[in-house]
Structure 1
């Protein structure tokens, strides 16, 4: 994002950029992003388990 109305915040190790002109706060962004992050985490965990224990799939 470019422009003067861009806010940048850091959430843990994640840098977040969002338009300051909206009424969305950083708390709302974290709430919206949490399910996506959890889904990615679960998919990565499943992939890791399948690599380490391929016999468990059969």
Structure 2
């Protein structure tokens, strides 16, 4: 079950990273107008998603 959730969150995280890169590199006037707000929102979503995805893929620790 953990691997299924990891795959799902990996897909979501890749999409979030793609959108974050688009926000930072876009010259679209609508996005350029609110670039500061969009970049804060994009980073506040992308960083926790990335950390959570890495945690899911790290696996369980073996107890001794």
Q: Tell me the TM-score normalised to structure 1 length.
A: 0.43
Tell me: higher relative CO, structure 1 or 2? Use CA pairs within 8 A at least 6 residues apart: 2
Structure with greater helix share of residues: 2
Structure with greater strand share of residues: 1
Q: Tell me the TM-score normalised to structure 2 length.
A: 0.40
